[in-house]
Chains A and B, each alone.
Chain A
């Protein structure tokens, strides 16, 4: 019964989010997304439940690219407190599926919110490097912490930068994996999480190297 509920097309509690998704459908012809699968495409398409979408973050457009690429799914986003600072913006962005995180404190509420949406079966977009402009080669282990707590797979991706708006937007999608593929402890240590984050980086790097070879 639970499983049926989370895949319902219409959910009153998600109506604001669905309205935002509907408006963002206009992005599909704008981006004309080209998906390149590094591994088994069917494995990615079979991910119907909770999943963490892990991509690079070099532009404000990245969340919109991900939304357009995964338009069939309800995707939540983690957003910094600076973006959701005003009450009105906070209200609308929260309704649209944004989870506010305050990097200045030990924001366990944000972590719990992330785990909750994942357990409900939704997708969660996380940028492992952190914000725009942060080191793309230094992935933070928070993503592995959330994946391990929620017991959901991580899907590494690389958003290729378009040369101009007439070019198709390419999204290189890697192989999804679970934290338990690398560590089967009930309570992984921080060293285990760092190791899992390194594995995520390796898979992300595969996607990036493919994209660089095409250019």
Chain B
């Protein structure tokens, strides 16, 4: 399962009202998907547990998209591979 698919599945687990089919890479987490601040916090914790990415210093904004999160996960993965 690719990062995008895993992330969409995670989002659906966190928020039952999310339809993963309707989410695209450009979907904004707050404005389009409708995630609340607590939901974003939950997502950040879940992303850290699933992908090992620490999002605590990343400022979630109204315009933050799914692709932004995927980018952070990929960056973390490539950094880890680089170290390895």
Complex Cα gap A92–B60 (Å): 30
Given A106-B58, A106-B59, A111 contacting B41 (CB threshold 8 A): yes
User: Interface of chain A, helix or strand or loop or mixed?
Assistant: helix
Contact in complex: B56, A107 (CB < 8 Å)? yes
Flag whether B26 is at the interface (Cβ < 8 A).
Answer: no
Interface size on A, residues (CB 8 A): 18
Contact digits for A65-84, partner B, Cβ 8 Å, 1 yes 0 no: 00000000000000000000
Q: How far is the CA of A181 from the CA of B57 in the complex (A)?
A: 34
Contacts of B23 in A (CB 8 A): none
With most chain B CB atoms within 10 A of its CB, the pick from A111, A140, A190 is A190
Tell me whether A149 and B15 are in contact (CB under 8 A): no
Q: Does A63 contact B (CB under 8 A)?
A: no
* B42 x A193 contact (CB < 8 A): yes
User: Contact at B16–A108, with CB atoms within 8 Å?
Assistant: no
Question: Which B positions have Cβ atoms within 8 angstroms of A?
Answer: 13-17, 36-42, 44-46, 48, 54-60
